[in-house]
Structure 1
Amino acid sequence: MFTSALRASLKLQRQGLFRAAALKNGAFASPFAAMNFSANARAAALGLDKFGVTNANTKVHHNLSYADIAKHEDANKEGQFIANGTYTIDTGKFTGRSPKDKYIVDQAPSNKNIWWGDINRPITPEVFDALYDKVTGHYGTAEKVYVFDGYAGANPNSRKKVRIITELAWQHHFVTNMFLRPETKEEIENFEPDFTIVNACKVTNEDYKEHGLNSEVFVAFNIEKNVAVIGGTWYGGEMKKGIFSMMNYWLPLEGIMAMHCSANKGKNGDTALFFGLSGTGKTTLSADPHRWLIGDDEHGWDDEGIFNFEGGCYAKTINLSQENEPDIYNAIKRDALLENTFVIPETNEPDYYNTSKTENGRVSYPIYHIPNHEPTSSGGHPDNIVFLTCDAYGVLPPVSKLSDGQAMYHFLSGYTAKVAGTERGVTEPTATFSACFGAAFLPLHPTRYADLLQQKLQKHKTSVYLVNTGWTGGGYGVGKRMSIKDTRACIDAILDGSIKKAEFATDALFGFSVPKALGSVPQSVLNPREAWSDKAAYDATAKKLAGMFQKNFTKYVSKDHTDYSPFGPKL
């Protein structure tokens, strides 16, 4: 249970008093942040010598305030301030994650738990040590080192202490935005990390062929040593998703569900979860001005309810407008950090419609930039769960209700599209299946997460819906993207309960229940077949997609696990 002290602190937060005092000019600065320490002093106190920080001339900066971070970013010329005071940076050629360069050390006892394959690629302890030596050797000559100490997980009973070591001030800014920040001097002074990421983005591995790796880039995890090293990529999301992957390892082994989802809470305390991959609408749809935002991307579900893993949000900026996404648009201000976003030279303003750098432009900001964020970063057991899918084929309806069995089938299927720019080499949407709507971040086999979710759904009688934010009237290149207005109307009907009053029809192919009418959503949109001018083409495409579902799901049919294949499409 949350401690009484924490409850009192959260009460002050809700009243706005704590934040006003602690966040002025940047929150929760280390008691050492205003001072420069040589490696011999502060680095020794922090135990940084094992990461190579032993040079007496190295300046160590620990948990800087936002005001000090801005000074460092400016002095280092790492990017630029735009007109409203937001700092903007460019991550170079890597504007998305590098999933083919992610590795986990194959070592007992953790190796028996890992879901080995293309997502979790094994490396030997010897190869990891070689990468580690490259990273620590580099930090031995670093002029400046930035150290962030904070938490992953808002529930004190299961949160993990994380330390992120970087060479760039903007990366220190990023993790300060994204993780939960310590709130007292004592927390920082007595901090002992459970896991450390050492980001040496300037280091590349020229020996990658000899090591049997994919490229000179590496994002490598050693679970037994509680450390990860990053080299060759400047993309900030590697640090965020690295810790998320570790939370997805630790928590399920403790009986706690870890989820790639956003979450919000209604005025009556009702909680909703939104599952989906990058670009499917998790951040946009959970930032609802009429509800409290718990978090936009990563959550846990334990015996007490829902809790956020993070202290900030990481939103896509492509085509961002104040009209369609006011909360996110207005969150881009001082202390936010823009990544890979085009800035108009004449006005020094961002142009979110210009994707010449990448379609994966991003902004990170502390969650309190959203006025109606939930200060406790937690909620009760969810009343509703929404599976968001970006259907590149234009077959699925904008909303459908799932039975418990169908919910498990679609959770394990994780159908969506890889949206342009979120990963290297993806330039247009491509149909894909990603287990649990986040296979890229699952160290354990997907059925481990499915079993936990099934238990939660049955115990708390949670309703589950499938919402398509992808195409209607045809597939990608023919149809059009589902409007945010129509998607919002579907979500609103789920959250206010009005969808339960609708008359439903059973989809003959997929088996789920589709509302015949729903508020302002056009009937031609609710029934995707009617939106296609060529009905025969729709039928053929729907059967093609159903076949893809069936083929993908064969990997989950096993005598060792519950068989949910009967709840899939019927050809």
Structure 2
Amino acid sequence: MKHVGNTPFDARLDAVGLEGVGRAHWNLPPAKLILQTLLRGEGVLTDQGALAIETGTFTGRSPKDRFIVDDGFTHDRVDWGAINQPMTSSCFEALLKDVQTHLDGRSVFVKDAAVGSDARYRIPVRVVAEKAWSSLFVDNMFIRLTDEERWVAEPQWHVLCAPSFKSDPQRHGCRQGNVSAIDFTRKIIVIAGSGYTGEIKKGMFSVMNCILPVEHGVLPMHCSSNVGEEGNVAVFFGLSGTGKTTLSSDPDRRLIGDDEHGWTDNGVFNMEGGCYAKTIDLSPEGEPQIHQAIRFGALLENIGFQEDGVTPNYTDDSITPNTRVSYPIHHIPQAVLDGQGGHP
């Protein structure tokens, strides 16, 4: 294996059995991830400098293909059913081994990051992705580490993203060729057969959904949050795509976060370091903060274009109505960069 980029002192992937990859690109900054995507012919730069890509067959999350390993840790803690589907440990092991074999000799992009802006509950995570743009998504959406933190990174969790791998329902205990599987004992998430980046963030949100209340007595919330000049915090609950990001991106208030938060004795904290907004019918008049955030470093997914091929056409839903953009939270003016606020 050849290690390139901003490697930590202990640059190893043996924790997830990926010693056989051909080249590991470590912690590349956004500009280099964008360059790698362009060189591979997998994206274009828009007229405002954002990177636009297509995620392939899957343009949204696939909740029917999400599984949690049923083991000693999860068996009596998880509410099993159509949302939390069980997978045996042996099926997960087979899936993991097959993904490892699939990635042998290939290039991967490794990003050390974290979830949880409150340091007391932060989980360091290492994401190993087949696509450079998946690594850019992680850089946008998770808590970005300092150079010093990356040099000595010790991840508690690993996420493997292999869109080109097709799972086998018989062998892997899943439903079809794509799968997102979480193993709380191994502390590994495997996302295979789908390039939709939202699977990455929702995988780690599922982890926080379990760890925060079970181990820390903290309430995890699927909500956005902002704060007024006098410190009055608001939270906005709703299903994905119902307007949480839009409501929280208020120019008269400071954004704390747009999707995933924890509520502690001290107040609320953002689990993430960025925003993931729907862009269908986006306009500078209707959503000015989101519109101006779409610039260099932002990642657009599955959008259409004007005739020039570089100007986004946000009314185009020919690929999907679930067009998306991710961007770091500092793209929003006056955002609360430490991701924390008081009680709502």
Q: Counterpart of 1:267?
A: 229
Indicate yes or no: 2:293 matched with 1:293: no
Q: Counterpart of 1:76?
A: 40
Task: Give the Cα separation in 2 of the matches to 1:202 and 1:345.
Answer: 30
Task: Give the Cα separation in 2 of the matches to 1:55 and 1:107.
Answer: 29
Task: Tell whether the 8 Å contact from 2:66 to 2:179 is kept in structure 1 after alignment.
Answer: yes
**Equivalent position to 1:108, from 68, 72, 89:** 72
Indicate yes or no: 2:308 matched with 1:343: no
Judging by fraction of residues, say which structure has more helix: 1
Task: Give the Cα separation in 2 of the matches to 1:196 and 1:154.
Answer: 18
Indicate yes or no: 2:211 matched with 1:246: no
Task: Tell whether the 8 Å contact from 2:9 to 2:151 is kept in structure 1 after alignment.
Answer: no
Structure 2 counterpart SS, 1:248: helix
**Equivalent position to 2:12, from 47, 61, 65:** 47
Q: Counterpart of 1:257?
A: 219
Tell me: CA distance 1:44–1:369, structure 2 relative to 1, closer, same or farther (3 Å): closer
Task: Give the Cα separation in 2 of the matches to 1:50 and 1:159.
Answer: 20
Q: Counterpart of 2:132?
A: 169
Letter in 2 for 1:228: I
**Equivalent position to 2:92, from 116, 128, 136:** 128
Q: Counterpart of 2:241?
A: 279
Tell me: CA distance 1:347–1:196, structure 2 relative to 1, closer, same or farther (3 Å): closer
Task: Tell whether the 8 Å contact from 2:23 to 2:105 is kept in structure 1 after alignment.
Answer: no
How much has 1:50 moved relative to structure 2?
A: 4.1
**Equivalent position to 1:355, from 317, 330, 341:** 317
Structure 1 counterpart SS, 2:144: coil
Unaligned runs of 5+ in 2: none
Task: Give the Cα separation in 2 of the matches to 1:210 and 1:179.
Answer: 32
Matches for 1:452-471 after TM superposition, within 5 Å: none
Task: Give the Cα separation in 1 of the matches to 2:206 and 2:11.
Answer: 25
Judging by fraction of residues, say which structure has more strand: 2
Letter in 2 for 1:297: D
Letter in 2 for 1:124: T
Tell me: CA distance 1:47–1:111, structure 2 relative to 1, closer, same or farther (3 Å): farther
Unaligned runs of 5+ in 1: 1-35, 383-571
Task: Give the Cα separation in 1 of the matches to 2:151 and 2:27.
Answer: 11
Q: Counterpart of 1:62?
A: 26
Equivalenced residues, count: 342
Task: Give the Cα separation in 2 of the matches to 1:132 and 1:279.
Answer: 32
Which structure's CA Rg is the greater one? 1
Task: Give the Cα separation in 1 of the matches to 2:223 and 2:11.
Answer: 34
Task: Tell whether the 8 Å contact from 2:260 to 2:272 is kept in structure 1 after alignment.
Answer: yes
Task: Give the Cα separation in 1 of the matches to 2:132 and 2:324.
Answer: 17
Q: Counterpart of 1:149?
A: 112
Structure 1 counterpart SS, 2:275: strand
Structure with bigger RCO (C-alpha 8 Å, 6+ apart): 2
**Identity among equivalent pairs (%):** 45
Q: Counterpart of 1:331?
A: 293
Task: Give the Cα separation in 1 of the matches to 2:171 and 2:141.
Answer: 35
Task: Tell whether the 8 Å contact from 1:43 to 1:53 is kept in structure 2 after alignment.
Answer: no
Task: Give the Cα separation in 1 of the matches to 2:332 and 2:309.
Answer: 26
Tell me: CA distance 1:46–1:182, structure 2 relative to 1, closer, same or farther (3 Å): same
Structure 2 counterpart SS, 1:188: helix
Structure 2 counterpart SS, 1:149: strand
How much has 1:52 moved relative to structure 2?
A: 3.9
Letter in 2 for 1:197: V
How much has 1:55 moved relative to structure 2?
A: 3.6
Q: Counterpart of 1:87?
A: 51
Indicate yes or no: 2:343 matched with 1:376: no
Task: Give the Cα separation in 1 of the matches to 2:26 and 2:84.
Answer: 32
Letter in 2 for 1:251: L
**Equivalent position to 2:102, from 138, 155, 161:** 138
Matches for 1:409-448 after TM superposition, within 5 Å: none
Task: Tell whether the 8 Å contact from 1:43 to 1:54 is kept in structure 2 after alignment.
Answer: no
TM-score by length of structure 2 reads 0.95
TM-score by length of structure 1 reads 0.58
Q: Counterpart of 1:318?
A: 280
Task: Tell whether the 8 Å contact from 2:54 to 2:301 is kept in structure 1 after alignment.
Answer: yes
Structure 2 counterpart SS, 1:69: helix
Structure 2 counterpart SS, 1:288: coil
Task: Tell whether the 8 Å contact from 1:164 to 1:196 is kept in structure 2 after alignment.
Answer: yes
How much has 1:92 moved relative to structure 2?
A: 1.0
Tell me: CA distance 1:211–1:163, structure 2 relative to 1, closer, same or farther (3 Å): closer
Deviates more, 1:81-90 or 1:345-354: 345-354
Task: Tell whether the 8 Å contact from 2:303 to 2:314 is kept in structure 1 after alignment.
Answer: yes
Task: Tell whether the 8 Å contact from 1:97 to 1:235 is kept in structure 2 after alignment.
Answer: yes
